[in-house]
Amino acid sequence: MPTTVAPDLDFIRSLKQLGGENLKSCYQCATCSVVCPISTDDRPFPRPEMIYAQWGMKEKLVSDPLVWVCHNCRDCSSYCPRGAKPGELLAAVRDYTITHFAWPSSFARLFNSARFLPLLFAIPVVLLLAVLAVEGHLHIPEGQIIYSKLFPIHTLEYIYIPVAFFGFIAGLMGMRRYWTAISAQRAGARPRRGLVEAAILTGKEILSHTQFKKCSVEGKRYYGHLPMLYGFLGAFGTTTLVTIYYYSGRFTPLPLYDPTKILGNVSAVLLLYGCGRLVARRFEKEPEERNNLPSSYFDWLFLGLLTAVAVTGTLTELTRLSGAAGIAYPIYFIHLSLIFMLLGYMPYSKFAHLFYRSAAMVHEKMYAPEAVVVALPGPPVAPPVVVEEVEEVEEEKVAAPAGAAAKAPATSPLGGGSKIGGGAPPSMFGGSKIGGGAPPSSPFGGGSKIGGAPPTSPLGGGSKIGGAPPTSPLGGGSKIGGSPPPPAGGSKIGGTPPPAPGGSKIGGTPPPAARPMFGGVPPKPPAPPVAPPAEESKEE
Amino acid sequence: MANDTAAEPKLGTYICTGCGLGEALDIGALEKIAQAAPKSVTCKTHAFFCSDEGVKVIRDDLAGAGVNHVVIAACSGRVNQEVFAFPKEVVLDRVNLREQVAWSHAAKDADTDALAQDYLRMGLVKNSKSSIPASPVTQEVYETLLVIGAGATGMQAAIEAAKAGHKVVLVEKEAELGGYMRTLHRQLPQRQPYTALMEPDLARKQVEVKAQPNITVMTSAEVVKISGQPGLFTALVKSDGRESTLQVGAVVLATGSSPYDATKLGHLGFGASPNVVSSDTFEAMAKSGKLVRPSDGQPARSVAFVLCAGSRDPDHLPYCSSTCCATSLKQAAYVRQANPREGRAYVFYRDMRTPGHLEYFYKAMQQDEGVFLTKGKVTAVKAAGKNQVAVTAEETLLGGPITVEVDLVVLATGMVPSTLAHDILGLQYRQGPALPDLKYGFPDSHFICFPYETRRTGVFAAGTVRAPMTIADATIDGGGAAMKGIQAIAYARTGEAALPRAMDPTYPVFGLDRCTACKRCTEECPFGTLNEDDKGFPQLNINRCRRCGICMGACPERVINFQNYSIDGMSSQIRAIEIPSESSGKLRILAFMCENDAYPAIDMAGVRRLQYDAQVRVVPVRCLGAINQVWIADSLSGGFDGVMLLGCKYGDNYQCHMIRGSELAVERLGKIQETLNRLGLEAERVQYIEFPISDYQRFPEIVKGFVKAIRKIGPNPFKGF
Ligand code: HEM
Ligand code: SF4
Ligand code: SF4
Ligand code: SF4
């Protein structure tokens, strides 16, 4: 039965406003699906999402789990030949999704525009001031700086336990709505794993940040998010422990050698470091051929808030130690207000990603089919590439065991899997020089000709040819050939992976065969599939 | 044959020793051959004949010794033409010792010398058998251009020809100028940045045409018939019921196309609902400002465009109509402009084809949030309720079959050339009143080299009657065709051939005393040059003739000859080649090579110093179709071991400059091979080999293969008879 499609124009307009302004530029070449680390042979991503967005298919997109599995690594955006910025579009969809599923829905509106920012600040400030007024503490307390002189612990508990609880429950409500929506998309499907097993796997993945590590363009985020996450968990743990201490009769401030204090301080450092890196990344200038990481209000509302919490928290401690009460108490007040915002607004800000991402990852682990990695026919060991037909460049007559391919057997978890790196017989490419075939003297394949991205390649279009990806800072500025890959399927061909972030991530990755992404009958892969899980099939 | 030169022939032979010839060849032996030639008055060598000094040597002989036949044995005749340009009365031949001898064969080698000597002998013989056409056919011609059809193409053709100083008669069948442009609401962008639609550029054009004193406009007019030849056409035109006779020099056919008949598109829903319309109907709706559903007159807010409606469909129009993609995008813009908030335009395409600058327009339209594009195959268009239509498409980019419900469906119908319905020109030619078509009713021409030309010299097709194209392209086409028309008139005036043998003053002469009126020449001339008189004898219309010599190749009585390319001349050349004895173990192979592509190709091979077998003797021919069978028979009976015919591709996507030459050559070859078989000679001794100019580097290999094949068969048993 054909699906009836009725585009939602307002949805398209919203996505454009939220940062997906180039979504209509996509012409469905599928290059993005070739480079995306979470795209697989039978689930190309995010090429289809681009046309869903173009066609204003709101329901389809807000209930698409892959949108939240995407780690916004922006590899796709940097390779997209049309500048459609699929990565940015997906971020826009995520922002939209948070608002769409938020509970209660009416609150969500307050978070989409800076117009409401004063109000968001005012809520905790007024509330806390009111509390101080009621309790008669509307002045800087005398004597040694003890923050509970301002807000007694139990007062804070009366405020913050409900706020955190609200944030958490509201977050869960949104998550539930989302879960229901994605489950509806998969109605009738049998889970491959149980919920618990999937949740455990997801937890492991989050704690180890395996997916983060696969990012190229945003490869540095790993070094920010990981310490930040542990810092946050540590800070959360510290608060919990302090509460337990309180009820067992031990009061703050704790001495610096107390284990809880140590945990608190270490967490603060991690949090500060993590936030610092993430913030710094947002100010970084990108090489000319790709756009800078865009930062929306929505991005800053969360990252800024969290950073501010970390900074004020640290200052709270430092000013206390310095004994400057006139500064310490106001900073503490600000810190408390910010924490209120962070926790209370969690379901409506980007912080909600914690819920949606967890849900999406678990759902995927339960239902997503194992990725199929197809070995291309070919000799098990990469044959030397002898580029002989090429007239103009004599020095290319090098029998080069192409770097990438040669490396593949050693590092690829696939062992005997196919090695396309430089191992593809040159005939496949009509004599064009593919990065992998670059002579060893050229470590980055910088000089290799990519122009030949062969539309006739039996590997299908959308090929990411190794050598120097256009976005690579090491790429010698070479550009993948002018020929936009024909929409016939994508393949990922390992070339020489530039040994630095921002380069291609592939090496010996076996290319998927043509993908069934255009609704037509996909060509059958010529060899029986080897089927390791997708996560493991790609090299870091 | 007719030797029209009055003066006694005096031959001068000039052998160049530059460019490595002196080192590679036995120049002395060549000189002896030249000196021994009958009518030879002088033979000179020079280290550098193409230098001023070298040319002066020749010019001095022309003036002093009265030399009027010149043979230059040096570089290929394809180079240095401006250097060796002598007065018209001089019979000039160039013997190619450089590219095809010294540069492509071993130096100081007996076989190479034999080759050089054969070529010199051939050149000398050919020269002696050539003459200058008696009276260069200069004549009074009509300078007026007849332009048929006053749409974008025709108006442009008229304007440009008028600006170039020619009188133009512009014939339009409607009462007003403008053609297809008159039906348009907006026109596709033609200016930077190619993203905004334009008002149809009609009024300005109409004014320009009317303001040109050189243009005479005839509206409500049709051409009844055209007779004559380039420079001298007579056209009968009926206008408002009155007939008038025009005398014109060239004709531009710019009658455009009509939309494909949508009633044949039932499978795409035409007829299923009044809300399914064709592109032109939708354009008319937009022009009248009423983008509404025909069923109830309510505004059409959502519109689905089905592209390739009939086009690229073997059951309808097997070709791409080239503009319907862009036109549909343009009409999508109408939908959006009418309703910026909620207007929706769905475009189902097979491939989005927006050539040239239109790519920018496509990109711009793609940005519109209310334009939904997908590749897909529309499988059903059905009425949905009273006023809606459901369009279902499969194999879409959205992953599976989808349906959209819309107010209106627009079928992007393609273009049918206007010549398909009737011939329009009414040519009074023996081969019929219409332009011969290539396919699908579009006129034939050498598509790659001479796109505006047709197979009727002096008649040029332009705009969508020639091939589907946009108004922008048609406008350029119109200008181009006008220039070609003017050129055709100029050639007629000076009695020269049209392209590709421009500047060739020779022409076929028909020995009617021996003609049997078999009609082969009148039928086979690709350009319809020959009419027949009452008794069926050929009548030459010289200005239609392209000098290809296909008639000469056709003539079984061998009575057609050119002044420098004749049956006897070629037979003599072939006989001038020395056939080594069988005991020497050497073969002789004759290669007839098309002058347009194959011959230049082996010059290129020579320039690149590709080496090939010296047992081959190359003879350039005007076209493979200009090979008379008697030459092949002569060469086999004369002891040649094999004959190759190297020429352009024929059939689909042919590259033959004379359109049908290589095809006819192959047809005729079939008959020769039958004869050979009967004589007990192996048919494989004579072969056609397709040899495009781009394959020059294959030549050594081709020769090698052929030599090998002949060795296998063995030497010609007729050798020595
Ligand atoms: C539940 C598990 C979590 C997952 C899977 C996860 C994953 C991610 C991912 C993929 C991003 C990048 C996406 C983007 O920039 O749009 C991101 C950003 C971020 N995450 Fe998490 N996260 C989790 C939990 C947390 C927690 C608990 C915190 C801290 C309080 C946190 C703080 C942040 C921050 C501040 C950013 C923004 C970075 C920036 O704007 O550059 N995340 N997270
Ligand atoms: S941002 Fe990265 S993970 Fe997300 S779709 Fe693009 S390539 Fe895939
Ligand atoms: S890479 Fe291709 S398919 Fe992906 S967003 Fe860009 S244009 Fe679209
Ligand atoms: S030379 Fe060619 S064009 Fe002229 S009459 Fe003969 S066949 Fe026709």
Residue A73 has pLDDT above 60, yes or no: yes
Identify whether the C-beta of residue B294 lies closer than 8 Å to the C-beta of residue B275: yes
The two beta strands, B589-594 and B257-259, are unpaired
CATH 3.40.50.450 location in chain B: 1-135
Find, in chain B, the residue whose alpha carbon is nearest to that of A52: B398
The partner residues of B95 in beta bridges, in order of sequence, read: B73
List the single range of A45-49, A143-147, A389-393, B415-419 with lowest mean pLDDT: A389-393
Residue B1 has pLDDT above 80, yes or no: no
Residue A375 has pLDDT above 50, yes or no: no
Return the residue in A1, A3, A85 with the most chain B beta carbons within 10 A, the one to mutate for interface testing.
Answer: A3
- Over range B620-641, report the average pLDDT: 95
Return the residue in A18, A28, A55, A389 with the most chain B beta carbons within 10 A, the one to mutate for interface testing.
Answer: A55
Q: Is the CB of B543 under 6 A from ligand 4?
A: no
Mutation to probe ligand 4, out of B456, B509, B548 (largest number of atoms < 8 A from CB):
B548
Residue A41: pLDDT band (50, 70, 90) is confident
State the count of interchain CB pairs (< 8 A) between A and B.
73
pLDDT tens, position by position, B531-555: 999 999 999 999 999 999 999 999 9
Residue A470 has pLDDT above 70, yes or no: no
- Chain B interface includes A48 (CB < 8 A): yes
Domain boundaries, chain A: 9-101, 105-367, 384-508+528-540
Please tell me the distance from the alpha carbon of residue B404 to that of residue B691, in angstroms, as a whole number.
53
Q: What global pTM score does this model have?
A: 0.81
Q: Which pLDDT value is given to residue A392? A: 41
Lookup: tokens for B719 = 């050798």
Residues in contact with A324: Cβ distance below 8 Å, sequence separation at least 6, in sequence order: none
Residue type, A338: L
CATH 3.30.70.20 location in chain B: 509-560
Q: Which pLDDT value is given to residue A154? A: 87
Spell out the CATH class of A105-367.
Answer: mainly alpha
Residue A446: pLDDT band (50, 70, 90) is very low
- Over range B349-370, report the average pLDDT: 96
Closest CA to B178 of B143, B154, B213, B160: B154
Which of A13, A517, A519 shows the shortest C-beta gap to B369? A13
Residue type, B505: P
Q: Which pLDDT value is given to residue A327? A: 94
Average model confidence (pLDDT) across chain B: 94
DSSP A352-417: GHHHHHHHHHHHHHHHSPPPPBPPPSS-SSPPPB---S-SS-GGG---B--HHHHHHHHH-TTTTS
Spell out the CATH class of B566-721.
Answer: alpha beta
Evaluate the CA torsion angle B403, B408, B414, B419 in order and state its sign.
positive
Find, in chain B, the residue whose alpha carbon is nearest to that of A21: B367
Please tell me the distance from the alpha carbon of residue B593 to that of residue B599, in angstroms, as a whole number.
6
Residue A374: pLDDT band (50, 70, 90) is very low
Residues in contact with A336: Cβ distance below 8 Å, sequence separation at least 6, in sequence order: A124, A128, A151, A156
- The larger pLDDT score, comparing residue B673 to residue B704, is at B704
CATH number of B1-135: 3.40.50.450
Mutation to probe ligand 4, out of B137, B522, B546, B594 (largest number of atoms < 8 A from CB):
B546
Residue A497 has pLDDT above 70, yes or no: no
**Are B367 and A24 in contact (CB < 8 Å)?**
yes
Please tell me the distance from the alpha carbon of residue B643 to that of residue B710, in angstroms, as a whole number.
10
Please tell me the distance from the alpha carbon of residue B462 to that of residue B453, in angstroms, as a whole number.
9
- The larger pLDDT score, comparing residue B57 to residue A428, is at B57
Residues of B in contact with A487 (CB under 8 A): 375, 397
Q: Which CATH superfamily is domain B261-413 in?
A: FAD/NAD(P)-binding domain (3.50.50.60)
CATH T-level topology, domain B509-560: Alpha-Beta Plaits (3.30.70)
Average model confidence (pLDDT) across chain A: 75
Residue A448 has pLDDT above 50, yes or no: no
The two beta strands, B415-417 and B257-259, are antiparallel
Mutation to probe ligand 2, out of A22, A23, A31, A38 (largest number of atoms < 8 A from CB):
A38
Residue nearest to atom 4 of ligand 3 (CA): A32
Residues of B in contact with A54 (CB under 8 A): 372-373
Residue A471 has pLDDT above 70, yes or no: no
Evaluate the CA torsion angle B206, B208, B210, B215 in order and state its sign.
negative
- Chain B interface includes A44 (CB < 8 A): no
CA distance B408 to chain A (A): 15
Q: Which pLDDT value is given to residue B17? A: 97
CA B644 to chain CA centroid, nearest Å:
24
CATH T-level topology, domain B145-258+417-494: FAD/NAD(P)-binding domain (3.50.50)
pLDDT tens, position by position, B56-67: 999 999 999 999
The two beta strands, B437-439 and B442-443, are antiparallel
Residues in contact with B277: Cβ distance below 8 Å, sequence separation at least 6, in sequence order: B262, B285, B294, B408, B409, B410, B411
- Over range A132-141, report the average pLDDT: 90
Closest CA to B194 of B365, B348, B328: B365
- The larger pLDDT score, comparing residue A69 to residue A394, is at A69
CATH 3.50.50.60 location in chain B: 145-258+417-494, 261-413
Q: Which pLDDT value is given to residue B138? A: 65
- The larger pLDDT score, comparing residue B236 to residue A432, is at B236
Q: Is A283 exposed, middle or buried (0-12, 13-18, 19+ CB in 10 A)?
A: exposed
Lookup: tokens for B99 = 């590219």
Q: Which pLDDT value is given to residue A395? A: 39
Closest CA to A56 of B368, B405, B392, B409: B368
Q: Which pLDDT value is given to residue A57? A: 97
Q: Which pLDDT value is given to residue A438? A: 32
Residue A474 has pLDDT above 60, yes or no: no
Q: Which pLDDT value is given to residue B678? A: 84
Residues of A in contact with B374 (CB under 8 A): 51, 55
**Are A520 and B369 in contact (CB < 8 Å)?**
no
Q: Is A139 exposed, middle or buried (0-12, 13-18, 19+ CB in 10 A)?
A: exposed
**Are B397 and A519 in contact (CB < 8 Å)?**
yes
**Are A518 and B368 in contact (CB < 8 Å)?**
no
- Over range B157-185, report the average pLDDT: 97
